Copies of this chain bind each other. A is one copy, B any other.
């Protein structure tokens, strides 16, 4: 558990440039230079994986920066608030996507029934 930036990036399946980008954005620390290079460990990997998961959860990099900060702090109240806000947004988004899914399923069904003419794409979305 002591790697160069290249190894680190590979471990998280991102590019080296992405690591540096996250460092510039304050999402990852920039280790001290020692013995000619900077070295990364398992805590860095953990943060990097969190960034990726949080991103897929719909957090922006800025929000993730705050969450990482909060993770290191003792402010349970703020952390819970942030999580609740995100959860609400997430639920809304999921509902939205479910609606879209229904529209697509409707579309596929109507489109499959062998008739001639164009598929009613807009109509499938309630328009």
Contact = CB atoms under 8 A, between A and B. Distances in A.
Interface string A46-85: 1101100110111000000001101111111001100110
B127 A46 contact: yes
A64 to B, nearest CB: 10
B105 A87 contact: yes
A46 B123 CA distance: 10
- List 6 A-B pairs, minimum CB-CB distance, nearest first: A57-B100, A71-B121, A79-B119, A87-B104, A80-B111, A50-B122
Q: Size class of A's contact patch? A: 35 or more
Q: Determine how many copies of this chain the complex contains.
A: 2
Interface of A: 46-47, 49-50, 53-54, 56-58, 67-68, 70-76, 79-80, 83-84, 86-87, 90-91, 93-94, 96-101, 103-105, 107-108, 111-112, 116-122, 125-127
Question: Does more than half of chain A's interface fall in helix, strand or loop, or is it mixed?
Answer: helix
A7 to B, nearest CB: 19
B53 A103 contact: yes
